[in-house]
Amino acid sequence: MNDNYIDLMVKEIDLRGLDDKTKTTYLRSMRCFLEHYKKDPNELELDDLKRYQIYLLKHRRLAPNSVNKEISAIKFYYMHVLERYWYTIALPRVRAPKKIPVILSEEEVANLINSVHNVMYKAIIMVMYSSGLRNAEVCTLKTVDIDSKRMVIDVRDGKGHRDGQALLAEMTLRCLRTYWRLFRRNRGRTDSDWLFVASKIGKNRNHDNCLSHTAIGYVIKTAIKASGIKKKLLPMSCVTPLQFT
């Protein structure tokens, strides 16, 4: 029975062109919701949804932002599949505490870069911190996106499915050229269109796969540990790109 509800949701998600990550998250959240009540969602009222919201907060002890993500999927279902538009208005968002963002100084970013000796790691960190790109945007960069003549990086299908451009600092370009010479050209790995490719050969015996979200996170964690920086960082804890020009 649940599969029918999920199929309807997939149809509405595809019609609205939501990205694959959002689609996966929404479907997972909806399956958990359906499993929790084990009832036809048509039979559930607004109070049931509010009780589920409290369940996520009090029993599963999810953070406010995590609860809001779960509820966003449910709101989507009731609004676009069951057309109960008033649910989206009546269901409140859980207020999350506002925290001061963690910002690295230029000296700390330089320390982060210098702490790693792997040239690919250096290139990834420099692209991310000098250009202000998100984790997923760095993963999907292609070689043609690096425009050394105009000193910009073309960002395709970024957040909100929007294309854009980011600053390409001279120092970052030099590092990318070193990475290309040592890691790609000298090792015969020039066939892939992706800018950053896996350092180890997988089961398919080629290097034509872009780096994963997890791989980028590993690079940042490795650099943080090596640098001795104590701040709790996310990949986007960066200084303004203009400081690197």
Q: Is the pLDDT of residue 99 over 80?
A: no
Judge whether residue 164 has pLDDT over 70: yes
Average pLDDT, the chain: 85
pLDDT band at 108 (very low <50, low <70, confident <90, very high): confident
Q: What does DSSP assign to residue 210?
A: B
Give the model's confidence band at 158: pLDDT under 50 very low, under 70 low, under 90 confident, else very high. low
Structural domain spans, the chain: 2-90, 106-244
Alpha carbon distances (Å) from 129 to 40, 100, 202, 235:
48, 19, 28, 8
Residues 169-206 have pLDDT tens digits of 999 999 999 999 998 888 877 788 899 987 654 444 45
Q: What is the pLDDT of residue 245?
A: 38
- DSSP summary character for residue 183: I
Whether pLDDT at 215 is above 70: yes
pLDDT band at 107 (very low <50, low <70, confident <90, very high): confident
Query: Mean pLDDT across the stretch 9-32?
Result: 92
- 239 vs 73, higher pLDDT: 73
Which of 25-34, 207-216, 221-230, 233-242 has the least mean pLDDT?
Answer: 233-242
User: What average pLDDT score do residues 82-94 get?
Assistant: 89
- Contact between 9 and 30 under an 8 Å Cβ cutoff? The reply is yes
Q: Three-class SS of residue 199?
A: coil
- The CATH class that applies to domain 2-90 reads mainly alpha
Average of per-residue pLDDT across 103-132? 88
How confident is the model at residue 150, as a pLDDT? Answer: 93
One of 3.40.50.10210, 3.10.20.30, 1.10.443.10, 1.10.10.10 is the CATH number of 106-244, namely 1.10.443.10
Does residue 77 carry a pLDDT above 70? yes
Task: Look at the alpha carbons of 12, 47, 63, 104 in this order and tell me if their dihedral is positive or negative.
Answer: positive
**Band of the pLDDT at 109, cuts 50, 70, 90?**
confident
Lowest mean pLDDT among 37-41, 117-121, 181-185, 209-213: 209-213
The answer to whether residues 175 and 182 touch, using CB atoms and an 8 Å cutoff, is: no
What is the per-residue pLDDT for 2? 63
Which tops the pLDDT comparison, 136 or 122? 122
Q: What is the mean pLDDT of residues 114-121?
A: 92
Q: What tokens does 51 get?
A: 């009780």
Rg (CA), the chain: 22
The amino acid present at 80, given as its one-letter code, is H
- pLDDT given at position 64: 93
